[in-house]
């Protein structure tokens, strides 16, 4: 099965597991939150890892490098961190890369751009239902960054636009659950 089929199946599953509440609105749940079916939860985790890309920009690496659980790229120890998260029907490209490069070059920070456009370019409710999984994934990467680099969580600032603000909030909550310290700042635009 090709990856686009897996993503399509993931989104169909989210849609199929929705339920009507008493007021007639549909409650969408992220597959990561659904208990009882480890295969589908594992697929959701894998799809999140495949569909969410983090790229770090620093003063010494303005072209950006991938960052994940095991690698921190050109991360500069002792520098503040800003994490930029796009919203619905958007990408982590163009304006986000320009902003990240500005943070890196002018303010000498570690700037991380989160791209989740493969999930963001869907029906709003389906994209919204994935925000918790995406936030959890980013939190796990940030915990890895903190452990590998000694970064103080107080020096990490998440900035999310639109649904990216929800992703940032989910990330902050999950980071606290995993590391027992709050992130320095979360901004929703």
Cβ atoms 88, 103 nearer than 8 A: no
pLDDT at 8: 59
Query: Does any domain span residue 26?
Result: no
Average pLDDT over residues 108-127: 92
Count other Cβ atoms within 10 Å, centred on residue 44: 21
Q: 25 versus 103: which is more confidently predicted?
A: 103
pLDDT at 71: 87
Tell me whether residue 40 is in a domain: no
- Is 169 within a domain? yes
**45-63 tens-digit pLDDT:** 677 778 899 999 999 999 9
The predicted model gives 66-85 an average pLDDT of 93
Average pLDDT over residues 117-141: 90
What CATH number is attached to the domain comprising 82? 3.40.50.1820
The pLDDT of residue 63: 96
How far is residue 10 from each of residues 15, 41, 112, measured CA to CA in Å? 9, 10, 26
- 9 inside domain: no
Task: Calculate mean pLDDT across residues 103-122.
Answer: 94
Domain range for 112 is 52-188
Is 10 inside a domain boundary? no
When divided into structural domains, the chain yields a total of 1
Cβ contact 165:86 at 8 Å: no
Is 85 within 8 Å of 168 (Cβ atoms)?
A: yes
Q: What is the pTM of this model?
A: 0.79
Lowest-pLDDT choice from 77-86, 118-127, 129-138: 118-127
Examine the pLDDT at 2 and tell me if it is beyond 70. no
Inter-residue contact 175 to 101 (CB < 8 Å): no
124 within domain boundaries: yes
């Amino acid at each position: 099965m090709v990856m686009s089929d897996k993503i399509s199946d993931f989104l169909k599953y989210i849609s199929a597991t929705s339920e009507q509440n008493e007021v007639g609105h549909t409650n969408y749940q992220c597959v990561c939150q659904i208990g009882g079916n480890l295969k589908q939860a594992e697929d959701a985790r894998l799809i999140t890892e495949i569909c969410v890309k983090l790229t770090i920009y620093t003063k010494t690496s303005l072209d950006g490098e991938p960052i994940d659980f095991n690698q921190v790229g050109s991360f500069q120890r002792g520098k503040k961190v800003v994490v930029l998260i796009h919203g619905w029907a958007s990408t982590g490209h163009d304006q986000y890369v320009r902003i990240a490069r500005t943070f890196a070059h002018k303010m000498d920070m570690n700037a991380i751009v989160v791209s989740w456009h493969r999930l963001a370019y869907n029906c709003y409710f389906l994209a919204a239902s994935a925000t918790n999984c995406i936030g959890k994934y980013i939190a796990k990467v940030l915990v890895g960054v903190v452990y590998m680099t000694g970064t103080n969580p107080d020096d990490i600032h998440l900035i999310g636009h639109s649904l990216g603000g929800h992703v940032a909030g989910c990330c902050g909550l999950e980071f606290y659950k995993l590391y027992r310290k709050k992130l320095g700042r979360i901004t929703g635009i």
